[in-house]
Amino acid sequence: MSDEGRDDHLARLDHIAAALEDLRDQAAEQPLDEAVRGILEGAIATVPDADAATITALAEDGHLYTLAATDDSVVQIDKVQYASRRGPCVEAATRRHPVRAVVGEHEAEWPEFTAASKAAGVNTYLSVPLLLSGESGEDEVVGGLDMYSFTAQAFDTYDEQVMRLFVTAACDAFANARRWQATNRKIGQLETALTSRAEIDQAKGVLMAIHGCTAEEAFTRLVEESQRTNTKLAVVARNLLESLQR
């Protein structure tokens, strides 16, 4: 390797180190959309010839969709691959291995991808699978990180290795963000449940005071109204309480 090439690799390693440091900082609690945006920005900064990036997500039922993108003009490239179930991003997201592609070299194999890439002016493509460590010890494929370049022959084997290293840290940030989101969703559900319970108890107290009935009879009245109007019990209770404030 020439001195110039060695210096270039060292400079790129510095970019990688900076990007990984950013991802480590992002591993703290944060919304999923912010984590995804940080991953995409870090990926673009890590690979010099990358012009755009998307994250392909693999749903539990097996369908693919674009979770986030740095440039909407390239999203169509992934969409045609999802629809045809063939192309580099499908390969990476479902078969657990990175895929580099020069647009035009795989036209017979991936015609939809080739046509969409040419229309968008994309010449080179690199997709790396996103793997999360599962509880059973087996990695779970959750999608892929897709890189686009308008430069011909932009991505090489070194870029591929760099991105494999990058996504290892990216997956940690992604997993933490998913846990953060799931935890906050559960907290929100619990808060809603507790609020609903409190409103139902208040509504029962109101009915007991108005009708001189027992707590069980008051609750029965609420249930009957819920069934009659096909309305959730908590909404019936809330409507009753609101009617007293008018």
Q: Does pLDDT of 116 surpass 70? A: yes
Q: Does pLDDT of 3 surpass 50? A: no
Domain boundary (168, 184, 200) is at: 184
Q: Which domain holds residue 173?
A: 3-184
Residues 6+ apart with CB under 8 A from 202: 237, 241
Do 169 and 195 fall into the same domain?
A: no
pLDDT number for residue 219: 85
Do 40 and 103 fall into the same domain?
A: yes
Q: Are 126 and 166 in contact (CB under 8 A)?
A: no
Do 167 and 207 fall into the same domain?
A: no
Number of domains forming the structure of the chain: 2
Do 234 and 178 fall into the same domain?
A: no
Do 69 and 127 fall into the same domain?
A: yes
Name the nearest CA neighbour of 93 among 34, 134, 146: 146
Q: How far apart are CA 3 and CA 30, in angstroms?
A: 42
Instruction: Give per-residue pLDDT as tens, 181-206.
Output: 555 566 566 556 656 777 888 888 88
User: Beta strand pairing status for 99-102 and 64-69?
Assistant: unpaired
In terms of average pLDDT, the best of 93-97, 120-124, 229-233 is 120-124
| Tokens representing residue 164 in the block | 């494999």
Q: Are 149 and 74 in contact (CB under 8 A)?
A: no
We report the CATH number of the domain holding residue 208 as: 1.10.10.10
Do 133 and 177 fall into the same domain?
A: yes
Do 127 and 70 fall into the same domain?
A: yes
Do 158 and 201 fall into the same domain?
A: no
Residues 6+ apart with CB under 8 A from 5: none
Do 39 and 125 fall into the same domain?
A: yes
Do 111 and 219 fall into the same domain?
A: no
Q: What is the pTM of this model?
A: 0.60
Do 174 and 109 fall into the same domain?
A: yes
Do 155 and 197 fall into the same domain?
A: no
Q: Does pLDDT of 150 surpass 90? A: yes
Provide mean pLDDT across the span 221-239. 85
Provide mean pLDDT across the span 161-166. 80
